[in-house]
Amino acid sequence: METTDRIAIRPAVMYIDRTVRHKYVLKSILQIENPDKQTFHIAPLPQVIIPKGMASESLLVDILLDKYVYHLPFYRITQKYKELGVVLSDYTLGDWFTTVCTRLRPLYDKLREKIMSSDYIQFDESTLPVIDNEKHRAVKGYVWSVRDAVCGDVYFHYDMGSRSGETARKLIGGYRGTIQTDGYEVYETYENAPGKRMIGCWAHARCKFVEAMDENKKHASEALV
């Protein structure tokens, strides 16, 4: 016997997840003996993320994965679902997305609290394209990443795309410990601040020597060894 193995795929399938609850009615004699007793009995519905909503937990997870892991806009997600036989609007997905994020906020707050209790954290701001509704185009915004340098946990902070000193103050104003950053000038405010120990980033410093290779390869190479 000879076997040949190939990688195959089963396309995703959307289906109706139906919950059936049996309803019981008390016999007449029991109602006569105890008129205040509830006539109908039915099991409660399982707890759901969106009460009375038609989106199951599996669908909500799929939306979040597409949005955050694969960076798909809502119109692409709705197109994917349309090809699977289900028509949903961008606004519906947006409402579901907002509701789930609100429900997950306590977990985000606990993660942030845990990271900010570390003795050593790292900060960086990364560019992020943000849709400007007035200009009808994408503009450059920023999202802040805060990392616990001890255990590696990370949380992200978005402040309407801002990279301002005020946003930095909200994030690290009350922090006490070691803060590692790049050379962005807003961090200079916290040099010698009580309870804070500001340190630089060797990776960012190395980039300068890489850039200097074009001007002075000999000396720049010595620094990069």
Q: What is the predicted pLDDT for the residue at 29?
A: 64
Separation of alpha carbons 81 and 62, rounded Å: 11
Separation of alpha carbons 73 and 122, rounded Å: 29
Give strand ranges (E) for the chain: 23-25, 40-42, 120-132, 137-148, 154-157, 177-180, 196-199
Got the DSSP string for 64-120? HIIIIIS---HHHHHHHHHHTT----HHHHHHHHHHHHHHHHHHHHHHHHHHHTSSE
**Domain definitions of the chain by residue range:** 67-117, 119-224
Q: What is the predicted pLDDT for the residue at 28?
A: 67
Q: Which two tokens stand for residue 31?
A: 């109602």
Q: Collapsing DSSP states into helix, strand and coil, what is residue 60?
A: helix
Look at domain 119-224 and name its CATH class.
alpha beta
Sign of the torsion formed by the C-alpha atoms of 87, 89, 95 and 100:
positive
Separation of alpha carbons 206 and 214, rounded Å: 14
The whole-number mean pLDDT for each consecutive block of 10 residues of the chain, a chain of 225 residues, reads 94 91 75 67 88 92 94 92 94 94 95 96 89 81 94 94 92 93 89 91 82 84 79
Q: Kindly report the backbone phi and psi dihedral angles of residue 13, in degrees, each rounded to the nearest multiple of 5, phi listed first.
A: -130, 130
Beta strand 177-180 with 120-132 is: parallel
Q: Which residue has the tokens 């394209």?
A: 129
pTM, rounded to two decimals: 0.77
